[in-house]
Each structure stands twice: as structure tokens, then as C-alpha cells.
Amino acid sequence: MRIATFSIVGFDADKLEWGIGVASRFLAVGAYVPFARAGAGAIATQALANLAYGSEGLALLAGGMSAAETLRALTDADSGRDERQVGVVDARGEAATYTGLACMEWAGGITGPGFAAQGNILAGPEVVEAMGRAFEAETGELGQRLFAALLAGDSAGGDRRGRQGAALKVVRAGGGYGGFNDVVLDLRVDDHPAPVPELGRLMALHALYFGSTPAAEKLPLGEEVLRELQAMARQAGVYLGDIDGQLDAETTAALRLLTGTENLEERIDLPRATIDPPALDFLRERFALGDDPA
């Protein structure tokens, strides 16, 4: 299985996050290339991909090996290493990349602080160089930095055979939905004529549903906002009470139903009586109420 692709593995030292961005003219590339484990590191395995590099490499990283040591251990034990390509970041954010001598041109990779970018059957070295510059220039969260790198690589020519799939994966200890797992971000575009821009659309939706608003920017559920929300809940058929701007038991139950139905339960805090502005903006557009919500 020859996965001609460009990818980047990255690390965020402030949040202790590890992740991978990948794009390719390959169906469902996100099912094969990216591997990550919170506290251990991240790996992208591609070209004539040896998928065992993912699980075996993460085990080595979890055992304390560096990125360079892990790459050496994986490739030394693999008779097909000349056709492999791999990028690794370890638990400390050290990065390493490997391109086998038999990988199809253009093939190669670069490393920088907290990242390794690599690709094969690319338009040229400008693809990975653009990815590295974009990753270092972007100041957002790790997922945004990885996406910026993919977008730059795509704009620089990407996979010279064309476009089909793309994916982003980010992990952090306890960073998943409700804190129940480590998966901060796991988005895939399996088959699309413009997979990287489509991945950007999915990222915007993910930010809406699962993003985090700083406490100082959260909007109190005051009377005016509650009147709006009560009217929305009534329009949605989950509230029959008065539009009075009071957060009583009936309104609280209705807002749980309303935000749960719209997948916004992570963006409202009813015990603390706050809502995240992006969620309220979405609901206003979704229900398009007039000037008088009553």
C-alpha cells in the first residue's frame, strides 16, 4: 500500500499535546497514516507504509525512547525500510524524520522545533518547506498549526498526483469529550476534490461544538439573553413557558434539551448561568428570530 502523501507531526509544549496532519491522493488516508498517544508522542507512517510502525513506535516512545532512537529501532528491524517514510515527535517534543532511498520522487522531510514534515511523490521540496514555515508562524492551538501547515503544503503543490483525503489528529491527557479520553481532535475527509479546505470547514464546526471560551469572555445568562433563548426553545418545541427571562426549572430543562439537540451542550454552563458567545451566535442564526423574541 503506497501512501503518497505529505504530513506533519507536531508538539505543543504549553498544553502537552501531540498531533498529526496529513493529506494525500489516497482514500481515507486518515485511517492509515496518523498515530498518537498522550504523554508518548506522535507518528506518521507513509510511502509503502508499514502500519506496525504506528503501534510499535508509540510503545517505544512510551518506554522513553527519543524520536531519533525510535526511528532507528523501527527501520533497523524492517527489511522494507528503503520504501518507508516516517515522521516522529517524542514525549519531549524532539522530532525526527526518515525517507527511504527507494521512495518515489520528490521525497524527503525536514524537522524544526516541535515538528517533522515529510512527503513523497510531491511537487517538490517546496511543499515540506512551506509546511514547516507555516507551522512555525501560526500562533494558535496545535490543531490550527497543523492545519496551517497542510494548507501551505497544499498551496505549494502537495501530492503531485492530485487530491483526495486529509486528516487531523491531536491528543492530550484528558483532553477528549467530557474528559473521558485523550482525543482532542480527530477529523477526516475520506474522499473529496478539495480535502484540505474541506478539513478546514470541519475544523470550524469542531471549534463551534467543542471549543473553549475563556471564563472572562463567557456571556452571563441575564434576562435579555434568557428571553432570546426561551423564544428559541419555544420555536424548537421544547419550551411552553413564559418569555420572562427567568432561569427557572422549566427554562433550565428546556435549555438542556435545546443545546443538546444542537450539539452545543459543551458550550453552555447552566449551573453557572453562562453561555459561550459562538454558541449563542449559532443559535441566533439557526432560529433567526425577529427583534421581539416574544
Q: Torsion over CA of 109, 163, 130 and 9, rounded to 10 degrees? A: -50
Q: Torsion over CA of 144, 150, 154 and 155, rounded to 10 degrees? A: 40
Q: Where are the domains of the chain?
A: 2-210, 216-287
Q: Kindly report, residue by residue over 91-122, the tens digit of the pLDDT.
A: 999 999 999 999 999 999 999 999 999 999 99
Predicted confidence at residue 159, as pLDDT, reads: 85
2-210 — its CATH code?
A: 3.60.20.10
Q: How confident is the model at residue 289 (pLDDT cuts 50, 70, 90)?
A: low
Alpha carbon distances (Å) from 99 to 49, 103, 137, 224: 11, 7, 25, 60
What crossing angle do the helices spanning 223-235 and 249-261 adopt, rounded to 10°?
60
Query: Is residue 126 a contact partner of residue 115, using CB atoms and an 8 Å limit?
Result: no
Q: Kindly report, residue by residue over 142-164, the tens digit of the pLDDT.
A: 999 999 999 999 999 988 888 99
Query: Is residue 50 a contact partner of residue 90, using CB atoms and an 8 Å limit?
Result: no
Q: Kindly report, residue by residue over 214-267, the tens digit of the pLDDT.
A: 999 999 999 999 999 999 999 999 999 999 999 999 999 999 999 999 999 999
Verdict on whether the full-model pTM lies above 0.85: yes
Q: Is the pLDDT of residue 270 over 80?
A: yes
